[in-house]
Amino acid sequence: MKIEKGREISAHEKVDRYRSIIYAGASGDFNPIHIDPEFAKKLGLGGSILHGLCTLAFVAKSVTDCTGDPGSLRKLSCRFSAPVLSGDEINISGSVAEVQDSRGRIDLKVVNQNGLEVLQKVVAEVDA
**Annotated active-site residue in 29, 35, 36, 107:** 29
User: Cα–Cα distance between 38 and 32 in angstroms, integer?
Assistant: 9
Q: Is 34 a catalytic residue?
A: yes
Q: Is 52 a catalytic residue?
A: yes
**Annotated active-site residue in 34, 47, 51, 92:** 34
Strands (E), the chain: 8-14, 73-80, 89-100, 103-111, 117-127
Q: Are 60 and 74 in contact (CB under 8 A)?
A: no
**Annotated active-site residue in 49, 90, 92, 106:** 49
**Annotated active-site residue in 21, 35, 36, 52:** 52
Q: Is 29 a catalytic residue?
A: yes
Query: In what helix (H) or strand (E) does residue 28 lie, and over which residues does it extend?
Result: none
Q: Is 51 a catalytic residue?
A: no
Q: Which residues are catalytic?
A: 29, 34, 49, 52
